[in-house]
Structures are given as C-alpha cells and as structure tokens.
Amino acid sequence: MRREELIAERYDLALTRIREIPDESICSEKYQEYFGRMAAFVVMMDQALSLSESGELFQMTIEALKEHNRLLYADILPEQYKESYANPEYAVNRLGESIGQMLSFLYAELRSMIPSAYEKNRTAMTIRMELLLEVYQAFVCAAQEQSEPDAEELRQIFYWYVSDYYEAEFEEKSKALLDADQDFARRLIMESDLSDLRYLYYFGEYITENELGTAAHLNSLSAENIQKMADTYTEGYRIGFEVTGKDISIKETVAIRYFLGFERVIRQAVQNFDRIGLQSTFYRAGANIFQGRNVNKNGYCGANPNKQYDYDHKEDWALFLDGALAGRRLEAVRNVFERHKELAALYGGPAVVESFGEEPFVPVTKSAACRFSDKQQKLFVENAGQIAAVQNEYIKGEEHSFTIIAFPVPQIGPRYREIFDDVVRINTLDYLLYRDIQQTIIDELDKGLTVIVKGCGENCTDLKVQLHKLEEPSKQTNFENCVADVNIPVGEVFTSPRLTGTEGILHVTKVFLSGLEYRDLRLTFQDGFVTDYSCNNFPSEEENLRYIKDNVLFHHDTLPLGEFAIGTNTTAYRIARKYGIEAKLPILIAEKTGPHFALGDTCYSHEEEVTSFNPDGKEIVAKENEVSVLRDTDVSKAYFQCHTDITIPYDELGELSVLTPAGEKRIIIQNGQFVLAGCEELNRALRE
C-alpha cells in the first residue's frame, strides 16, 4: 500500500471514531464535555480540509471567508479565551492541575491542524487525531475501571508522541526553509489576484483589519513605490553579502519571512531575488510543540489571535522534557540536516519584513501554565545550544547573511498612511550622509578604551563599557559603520565590548522587547555579566524576576553584554515622537534611536573568523569577547542563542563619552544632543 493510501486510511478510521465521541457517555461528565469539544473541533478541521481539497474555498465570498476564519480561531480570541480549554487556567479549574495542564496542551496541539487543513497535509492532521484518540482511550479505560486516569500514563502518551514524530516534523519545517519546491505560500503570493483580498484567507492564518488594511493600502500605491520598497529590501540582502566578503553566487535560496498583507511588495521581492539567482522559500510560523509557540513569530504568519495564548503555552515542553528526549531532539536534527545537507549548503539566510503598530502586549503570568523546573531550564538551554551548533555545521554562519526591514500596520492609528510614508522615508535615507557622520563618531570612539553612559531625569543608567585595545589604530577599528544593508534603516555604530571591566547599571523607564512590555527595567553588570535585575510589571518581586529570567535572559542564570551601539537615526526618533508611536516601534527601528545594549551573543556570532572592513578601509577587529572565544575549546559555552537589544532614548540620556588612555573625557552626546563636531546634522531632527 502506498504511503498516501495508508495515511488516507488512517485518517478516515480516526475521523470515524472521533465522530462517535460526542454521543458517548463513558467518562465522567467533566471529561466527556472536554472530549466532545475536542471532537467537534476535529470535525471542523475535516470540513476545512474538504473546502481546500474541493476548491470550494476559492469560490466563497469574502464575507463567508471572514466568518469561516473567525470560527476557526473563535475559541482562543480574547473574548472567549476565558472559558476555552486552550487556556490552562480554565482547564486546570475544570479538570484538575496535572490533567488540566496536559489536556490544555492537547487542545493547543490540535489547533495546529488549522494550517495543515489549508495545506492539505493529511499526515499532520492524522497524527494529531490519533493522539486525541489515544488520550481518550486512556480515559475510557479508567472510567470502565471506575477510577481516575493516571497522570503519568498520560504524560507518557505525550512523551512518546513528541519523541516518535519529532524528526518527521522537524524535516517538514526544514524542507519549507530550504527547499523552494515546497511552494504553498509562494504559489498564493505569485498567482493570486492581489486586488481581490479574498486571497488573504487562503493561507489558513488569522486575518484581521490589519492584514486587510495593509493589503488595500499597498494596492493603492504606484508600481514605482512598490518597486522602491522591494528594491530597498532585496538590495539590503545582496549588499549584506558584499560588505562582509561572502560569496552570494554559491547560494540558491533565500527564506522570506513576513506578515500577511504585504504580498504586493513580497511578489516584487521574489522577482528581484529570482533575477540575482536566488529562489525564495517560505516557512510558516510555528503553531505546534515541534516548531514552538511564541509571542514573537518566526516565519510567515497572519495576525496573532491572542498573544496570551502563546504566552501561556510557551513552556509546554515542561510536561515531558528529560535528558533522553533532549537527546532524541538533537539526534533528529542531525539526521534531518545530514539528509538535506546539499540544500542546507545552498541556503543564503533569511530576508525578513517585520510589521509594527499593534497595541503593546502586557502578559498575565498564570500559575496554571506549564513552567520549567530549574533542572529542565538548564537542560532546555543546553539542548538549544547543541541544536544550534549542529545547524551551524550545515548552515555555516560565515557563509550566509540576512536582511530585515519593518513597516507599520493600520492599527498604529488614524494617521496610518502618513506614518507609512514616513517609515518608507526612514528606510530610504541617504546612507552616504550617515556613513560619513558615523565615521566621525567611530574615529572618536577609537581614541578611547572606556565608554561612559549616564542617564538623566528618571533614568538611573550609570555604565562603564570597556573597548578592545587596538594594536594598529591606523588599520583597525572597534566599531562597525552600519549603513542600510542587513539592518534597515540606516543609523548605528556597534561593537562587541570587552566583558572584563564592563560594569554598572542599565536602566530604562519603559521598553518593549520582543513584543513584551517592561516597566522600570534595571540590569546590573559586573565584568560584563548580569548580576542582578528587576522591573515593576507585577506586584510581587518573584513574578518580576521570573518574567525577566524567562523572557530577557531566556532561562539562563545570567547573560553577557554582547553588543554596545550608538543609534544615530534621529529622524526615526523625531517621527516616533511626532506620532506618539515610540512604544510601538520594533527593535529594528528603536535601536537606532539612542545608545543600545544587547544581552546574549555578540553581533558576530559564528562569524568571528570572517574578515570585514568599514567603508574607510579599516578592519573591524572587535568581533568577540571572553565568552565567544571559548568556541575553540568548548562550543557549548560560547553561545547563548539569544541577542536582545535594549535602547536608551535620547531624552533619557545625560551623557555618552569616551575616556582616552590619558584620562581625557571626550563627550559625544550630552543631554540628548550630539555635541561632537561633525554630527550637527543629527541634531536638526532632534530640534524639530
């Protein structure tokens, strides 16, 4: 029997059995109600699959598509989430702590069938239907014995589900990343009538007025404007290879990551990439345990129906993670990359379009949600590092590049069209002007060994950042002159500082990192490492500390200062203030609006050996620190797989200066203004 026939048979058998569940009353009422709702959801997924396979989906009116889309995601929308089994709090209150957490996880896993139905992926749907039946059978057996289901038996079911299917699921994800023949999204982008907004509902993602409004706005722009936006994006990618001395001609694929609504720009970008010999791949943002559920989406996606839902399930691995399963993950990753090593070698890296403008998300920490134990936290971090090291063997950091650009969405406010036009202007500023001003700043910084950063007003920052000693100042520099290539828009100089001697307090009164808000965030450094931290998001100190450790330190006990930079894009700062959108700016733009500091890996992670130069011809030598240098002896201790930028806005900056070896202080910024000669042009936007 062929594989397709076997899957079809398994699918039909599972669906037939699931359809019977709502009419049964074997389990106790509370469990039967849960399984009845799960069965109803699976039946709805089968209906979605039928719409896709029959082509009826493409005949529906936009009103019918909108209603169908709403029904698919209704149960996790904020107004209904309170009484959804996808909400761990509700599941635990209804079903008990252990069983409630596990059945909430099961529902979250079933919900990943939505994109599978649109992609007509019966395999992915079948294994989740069979998981539901296996769990249901455990409850049936317990009821027949007049007992409660055994929590450990349930945990084992989930454990072996993840263990058995991890490799196959990781292979699906990897092929979407590396193989241009996996063209579900590409076909929709390139072949749809983009003037007919029904196409947005064909992806299987949640669609809101943001996606519809973005697509409608792009449809109103001239072909010349669309070309300009796409050219900025794709040229940034190409130049990224050029300025780092990497050979783009040996690459054949580029992974495009974006938010739905931008298809008109993406279509042009695909054509641009085709002309330079790169085929575009598209992989969907994670929606299941194998790909990871996170507030910060990685891949192409629609709107996030409920960020609290993703936040509640971000540590579901805590249900079953142990050393053996971590080892299985690592083995699976290596097996997949070994099978597809030719494709991996041809992969050039991601080209990312971010969107911004949604209301900032302030999560609620729920005791009912799964949380790693201390032992699991350590294991998860170590495992992630091992997986990253394997990936770097096949997708070599010294050979690939990236680019990233951002645009606003309609939710940013009633002046959306004006803001959009101004952001396009930010993204296309005169890089030659900034190049020369930034070189002036770099020349001054290279005269010193210590940078002093102090806040003003309510900002309590007081930091000393140590720079590397230049052995040949006439030929070497500590700072990269970053113009508009991989990091669009233009506007920063950055370095990997020395850790030894870097010390003090970094403080911001309010900042948004990876979509999460932090109030009064304070980090204390000693020899470049975080030694203490706090914020005022929650009533209790314990909640605040856990929030930072989970989402800023990413479960590490500490992290080093991997980057120090000075943002110079005062135009972006002025525009943000003009519209009052500072809190909605993505890191990509926000980091250019003041000095910023990154926790985690350096900017040159896995690329330390790549020789690169600034436009003035000087070699950039500050590419590692006392941690990353350990890659030669123990690579597991050299990297952290995270890099989080924290920016001090100009109006909270009292002083930024550099100390020369002779003890002379040379001030670059004072009271939010550039005072270094040659930087006067930057103050024009600040004054405006």
**Residue (of 331, 315, 332) closest to 554 by Cα position:** 315
**Residues with Cβ < 8 Å from 122, sequence gap 6 or more?**
7, 8, 11, 49, 116
List, for the chain, all residue ranges whose pLDDT scores fall below the cut of 70.
1, 484-485
Quick one: which H or E segment has residue 34? helix 29-54
Q: Cα(509)–Cα(593) distance, rounded to whole angstroms? A: 15
Quick one: which H or E segment has residue 228? helix 223-243
Read off the amino acid at residue 623: K
Structure tokens at 34: 């849960």
Structure tokens at 447: 């005269």
Q: Cα(309)–Cα(430) distance, rounded to whole angstroms? A: 42
Question: pLDDT tens across 516-525, in order?
Answer: 889 999 999 9
The chain-wide mean pLDDT, for the chain, equals: 93
Q: Are 476 and 519 in contact (CB under 8 A)?
A: no
Residue 363: count other Cβ atoms within 10 Å of its Cβ.
Answer: 20
Structure tokens at 22: 């709502």
| Alpha helices (H) along 55-150 | 62-73, 78-81, 88-95, 97-111, 113-118, 122-144
Instruction: Supply φ then ψ for residue 517, to 5 degrees.
Output: -90, 140
| Alpha helices (H) along 405-526 | 416-427, 431-445
Q: Cα(586)–Cα(354) distance, rounded to whole angstroms? A: 8
Q: Report cis status (omega within 30 of 0) of the bond before 649.
A: no
| pLDDT for residue 77 | 97
Where does residue 323 rank: exposed (0-12), middle (13-18), buried (19+ CB within 10 A)? exposed
Q: Are 618 and 477 in contact (CB under 8 A)?
A: yes
Which residues on neighbouring strands pair with residue 281, listed in sequence order? 255
Question: pLDDT tens across 94-130, in order?
Answer: 999 999 999 999 999 999 999 999 999 999 999 999 9
Residue percentage of the chain with pLDDT more than 70: 100
Read off the amino acid at residue 322: D
| pLDDT for residue 484 | 61
| pLDDT for residue 243 | 79
Q: Are 155 and 179 in contact (CB under 8 A)?
A: no
Question: pLDDT tens across 473-493, in order?
Answer: 999 999 999 876 677 888 899
Residues written for the chain: 688
Q: Are 372 and 550 in contact (CB under 8 A)?
A: no
The string of DSSP letters for 531-575 reads EEEE--SSSSHHHHHHHHHHHTSTT-S--BEEEEEEE--HHHHHH
Structure tokens at 256: 């495009």
- DSSP secondary structure letter of residue 261: T
Q: Are 21 and 39 in contact (CB under 8 A)?
A: yes
Quick one: which H or E segment has residue 35? helix 29-54
Residue 480: count other Cβ atoms within 10 Å of its Cβ.
Answer: 23
Q: Cα(611)–Cα(371) distance, rounded to whole angstroms? A: 42
**Residues with Cβ < 8 Å from 294, sequence gap 6 or more?**
286, 310, 314
Strand order, beta sheet including 516-526? 529-534, 516-526, 498-513, 462-466, 450-455, 653-659, 665-670, 673-674
pTM (two decimals): 0.89
Q: Cα(122)–Cα(617) distance, rounded to whole angstroms? A: 56
Q: What angle do CA 446, 448, 450 make, to 5 degrees?
A: 120
| Alpha helices (H) along 299-373 | 307-312, 323-339, 341-345
Q: Which residue has the tokens 């009116």?
A: 61
Q: Are 657 and 451 in contact (CB under 8 A)?
A: yes
Question: pLDDT tens across 596-617, in order?
Answer: 999 999 988 888 888 888 888 8
| pLDDT for residue 216 | 97
Q: Are 117 and 48 in contact (CB under 8 A)?
A: yes
